[in-house]
Structure 1
């Protein structure tokens, strides 16, 4: 039995798997370094990975359903993602 996935769904899943693998690798690296300062550097580096994967995954998903959405709805979704990122970073 063969399973067929939409191209955009497959790419989104692969991006999330890569993101998860990077997170697990970082956790192992933090344990291996066994130093709070170095662990903080590794942890801070992950702050770039998470939002990047979020934006890429959202973009791929929107491209996958672009024929079903109007330009206004697509721009509202991107605005929502940007507002989420701003809300997370503002203290």
Structure 2
């Protein structure tokens, strides 16, 4: 039996794999530099990448279901993503 994967799901999964790879590289860099100051800089860089990956992954997912979801549900999805981004934003 052949299973066909949806393009949106493949795109979302690839973005998450990319994000995970970036996280692992960052962890190795922290260990390599072995200073708290540089680890904080690396960690701060990840704080910029995380929300970008979240937005792109959500956008791909929403694009994949665009023909099956009402406009009101789109609004709720974007409000939810906005709440997540607001909740993790620093003071």
Task: Give the TM-score normalised by the residue count of structure 2.
Answer: 0.93
Runs of at least 5 residues in structure 2 that lack an aligned partner in the other structure = none
Task: Give the 5 Å matches for 1:1-80.
Answer: 2-80=2-80
Per-residue deviation, residues 17-71 of structure 1 (Å, max 9, x unmatched): 0000000000000000111101100000000111111110001000000101111
Deviation at 1:3, TM superposition (A): 3.4
Q: How many residues are paired up?
A: 91
Which structure's residues are more often helix, by fraction?
1
Task: Give the TM-score normalised by the residue count of structure 1.
Answer: 0.93
Runs of at least 5 residues in structure 1 that lack an aligned partner in the other structure = none
After TM superposition, the runs of 4+ consecutive aligned structure 1 residues lying more than 2 A away are none
